[in-house]
């Protein structure tokens, strides 16, 4: 019997160690993504397009301002009835689909198109952006199994539309497939996600928001459950891109996702340290 107990304890310790290693790897990969040449730290500009021609270049007066060393006038982005076409100073025109991998490259920098709230913008990424050059690393709460929660998952018969406000004051209606329920520190809590990239996407605030964590809240992803239980690992809670760049359009947590407890897990507020 003692041998069986030792085996069970050893197996549990191994599983806990394996899980903690997975969280550590996730954090390392997340930070590497931020620091990548095309990551959020490289986002250096956001330019809202007006209908008609928008000049792209590094010259003063350009509508989309490229970094120094880029062509003074690289071409023109034309917005017409929601469609965007780039006509370079020389060469063939190219259509650009919003919120896709379509990109224009200029001396290492890149421009993509986004659409938010019925408005269209050009987003600039520059590997030489100050935020990327001066990045000091993410700060984290210690990994702790207490914050790995198996919550009750309640799926709606049909997805419900919920209002999501972004940091620019734009509101969109996004479908939510259900909600997660769990008890924590004496409180009964509920979080309502939307779907993003095939996962449950939770935007939430808690009592650490504005203190030890980012004021506008944090993000947490979870696999879509097949049954009545959803795994929420707050050790993987992360800052929104707006914590690192002023040129992101982050969604904000719906009011229902403001928790009455302190979630002392995951990523802390970013800052020099």
Sorting pLDDT into bands at 50, 70 and 90, what band is 265?
Answer: very high
CATH level 2 (architecture), domain 40-133: Sandwich (2.60)
* Percent of the residues in the chain that have a pLDDT greater than 70, as a whole number: 93
The CA distance from 236 to 98, in Å, is 29
Beta bridge partners of 51: none
- Residues 150-203: pLDDT tens digits? 999 999 999 999 999 999 999 999 999 999 999 999 999 999 999 999 999 999
Q: What pLDDT sits at residue 15?
A: 57
Give burial (CB, 10 Å; 0-12/13-18/19+) of 220.
buried
Over range 71-85, report the average pLDDT: 96
The CA distance from 58 to 42, in Å, is 17
The distance of Cα 67 from the centroid of its chain, to the nearest Å, equals 25
Q: What pLDDT sits at residue 273?
A: 40
Q: What pLDDT sits at residue 5?
A: 44
pTM: 0.90
Residues near 53 by Cβ (< 8 Å), separated by ≥ 6? 76, 77, 78
Cα angle 21, 260, 210; round to 5:
75
Q: What pLDDT sits at residue 113?
A: 98
* Percent of the residues in the chain that have a pLDDT greater than 90, as a whole number: 92
Domain with CATH 2.60.200 in the chain: 40-133
Q: 50: helix, coil or strand?
A: coil
Q: What pLDDT sits at residue 3?
A: 47
Structure tokens at 89: 């100073």
Cα angle 218, 219, 223; round to 5:
155
Q: What pLDDT sits at residue 17?
A: 77
The CA distance from 266 to 73, in Å, is 44
Structure tokens at 153: 């998952």
Q: What pLDDT sits at residue 27?
A: 98
If one counts every other C-beta atom within 10 angstroms of the C-beta of residue 116, the result is 17
If one counts every other C-beta atom within 10 angstroms of the C-beta of residue 194, the result is 20
Over range 102-126, report the average pLDDT: 96
- Residues 222-262: pLDDT tens digits? 999 999 999 999 999 999 999 999 999 999 999 999 999 99
Q: 209: helix, coil or strand?
A: strand
Q: What pLDDT sits at residue 271?
A: 79
The CA distance from 241 to 247, in Å, is 9
Q: What pLDDT sits at residue 222?
A: 98
- Residues 119-154: pLDDT tens digits? 999 999 999 999 999 999 999 999 999 999 999 999
pLDDT at 7 over 60: no
Average pLDDT, the chain: 93
If one counts every other C-beta atom within 10 angstroms of the C-beta of residue 250, the result is 18
If one counts every other C-beta atom within 10 angstroms of the C-beta of residue 195, the result is 14
Sorting pLDDT into bands at 50, 70 and 90, what band is 1?
Answer: low
CA distances from 113 to 60, 104, 227 (A): 21, 10, 38
């Amino acid at each position: 019997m003692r041998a069986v107990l030792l085996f069970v304890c050893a197996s549990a310790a191994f599983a806990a160690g394996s899980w903690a290693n997975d969280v550590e790897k996730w954090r390392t990969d997340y930070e590497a993504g931020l620091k990548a040449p095309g990551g959020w730290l490289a986002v250096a500009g956001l330019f809202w397009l007006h209908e008609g021609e928008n000049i792209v270049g590094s010259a003063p007066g350009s509508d989309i301002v490229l970094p120094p060393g880029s062509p003074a006038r690289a071409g023109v982005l034309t917005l017409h009835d929601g469609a965007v076409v780039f006509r370079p100073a020389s060469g063939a025109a190219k259509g650009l689909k919003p919120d896709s991998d379509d990109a224009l490259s200029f001396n290492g920098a890149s421009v993509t198109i986004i659409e938010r709230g019925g408005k269209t913008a050009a987003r600039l990424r520059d590997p030489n952006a100050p935020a990327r050059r001066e990045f000091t690393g993410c700060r984290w709460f210690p990994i702790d199994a207490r914050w790995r929660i198996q919550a009750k998952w309640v799926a709606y018969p049909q997805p419900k539309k919920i209002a999501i406000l972004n940091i620019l004051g734009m509101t969109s209606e996004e479908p939510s497939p259900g909600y997660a329920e769990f008890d924590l520190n004496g409180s009964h809590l509920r979080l309502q996600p939307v779907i993003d990239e095939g996962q449950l996407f939770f935007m939430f605030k808690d009592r650490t928001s504005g203190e030890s964590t980012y004021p506008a809240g944090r993000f947490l992803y979870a696999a879509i459950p097949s049954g009545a239980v959803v795994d929420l690992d707050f050790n993987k809670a992360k800052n929104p891109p707006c914590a690192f760049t002023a040129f992101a359009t982050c969604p904000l947590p719906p009011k229902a996702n403001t928790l009455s407890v302190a979630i002392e897990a995951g990523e802390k507020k970013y800052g020099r340290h």
